[in-house]
Structure 1
Amino acid sequence: MKESDGAAIQRVLAGDGDGFQVLVERYSHALFRLAYRMTGNEADADDVVQETFLRAYRSLANYDGRAAFSTWLYRIASNYTLDRIAATKRRAEILHPLDQKPEGEEDGRAWQPVEQAPGPDRLLLSGEIQVRLAAAMEELTPQERTAFTLRHFEDLSIEEIGAALQLGSNATRNSIFRAVQKLRRNLAGWAGVAS
């Protein structure tokens, strides 16, 4: 029988480090998917996962159980990733203020969805779909991208997303709505998507 999150947490708090290993194994893949979709980079996603678990371990005594443990982890990962994205953007603006690309020009670093082996019927269009979706996702704000990813890729509820992003239900819905509207607009001329 699979050990519950609560039981594993109690083991960790009692000094049993193996309890935390259970949690790492249970949630590392989902956290990696989220971080990769937000950063578009495997190395950055690995760093986010490691830092998330490090911060969770250090703060485990503060976990109050009001939200699911997975939601708490998503909040830590989302906050850390958003901070990384903002810091990277600030550094780029400080270091290269004159090298900024004109609006709409690609910089070569595009958001890429997690690779999955497509079936034979999808191979023809998969590359183009990824490029177009990546470009459209880059147009979203970090909060919109996170909310959209948690809703449509991770199937979290509005309440879970709100808890992870520390937003109210209405703000969460609005972030997802704005993301969907922007994606529809950006993908409207392709594949018959209506705006």
Structure 2
Amino acid sequence: MNCDSSETNRLLERVSEGDGQALELLLGRYRQRLRRMVAVRLDQRLRKRIDPSDVIQETYLEASARLTTYLRAPSMPFFLWLRFLTGQKLVTLHRHHLGVQMRAAGQEVALGQGLVPGASSAAMAAHFVNQDTRPSEAAIREELKERVQNGLESLSPLDREVLALRHFEQLSRSEIAAVLGVSEAAAGKRYIRALEKLKQILGRFEGDVP
């Protein structure tokens, strides 16, 4: 399965020929997408200590070191490979800083590509709740955010993951299927079911949730 664009494939070909500028262009294409991944998966307790840009930079250093091996026998599309490395980096950081708290809380989820930190319900709730309210409505907004967060936490981990992959990381259906290790049809059905459950949870907040 190849989810990469023709431009990405052209850049990969140039990289394989030793073009360093092509590598910079290639990695630059995915920086924002990976920032979204880190934003929804970095534990709230670490947000003041760890800069998402540093996570991505460390991932890119590792990707550069392992690129020759990847190009020799690509096991997944290039972006998903970068995403996989980013997920590994996040797991390592979480375990280093949080130790047994990370595993004991069940905050890692096993997807088709391996363990990743689960999507943060708090970050997801903040996305859904309208942030453009007046200061006088701040207390109401925070209460609403908490209720939405509780609703999201009532979903199964896989349902939350599917929603995070589509709405927060903005992965395509083919990319979601590859991440979950299922067919595109199965990924589509899982997304629709998860979205319906989320709509039921958020239905009572109509007008407050975009």
TM-score for both structures, normalised by structure 2: 0.57
Cα deviation 1:136-194 (Å, max 9, x = unaligned): 4444555443321221234433221111333333553465345435534543443389x
RMSD, aligned CA: 4.5
1:74 aligns to 2:83 (yes or no) = yes
- Whole-Å separation in 2 of the counterparts to 1:183 and 1:44: 30
- Map 1:98-177; keep pairs closer than 5 Å: 111-113=122-124, 122-124=132-134, 127-128=141-142, 130-140=145-155, 143-169=158-184, 172-173=187-188, 175-177=190-192
Aligned counterpart for 2:59 among listed residues 27, 52, 55? 52
What count of residue pairs does the alignment treat as equivalent?
177
- Per the alignment, residue 18 of structure 1 pairs with 21
Matched residues, percent identical? 26
Read off the aligned partner of 2:173 and give its amino acid letter: I
SS at match of 1:123: coil
- Residues 60, 88 of structure 1: CA spacing in aligned structure 2 closer, same or farther, 3 A cutoff? same
- Whole-Å separation in 2 of the counterparts to 1:93 and 1:157: 29
SS at match of 1:4: helix
- Per the alignment, residue 5 of structure 1 pairs with 8
- Residues 171, 82 of structure 1: CA spacing in aligned structure 2 closer, same or farther, 3 A cutoff? farther
Alpha-carbon shift at residue 72 of structure 1 (Å): 3.5
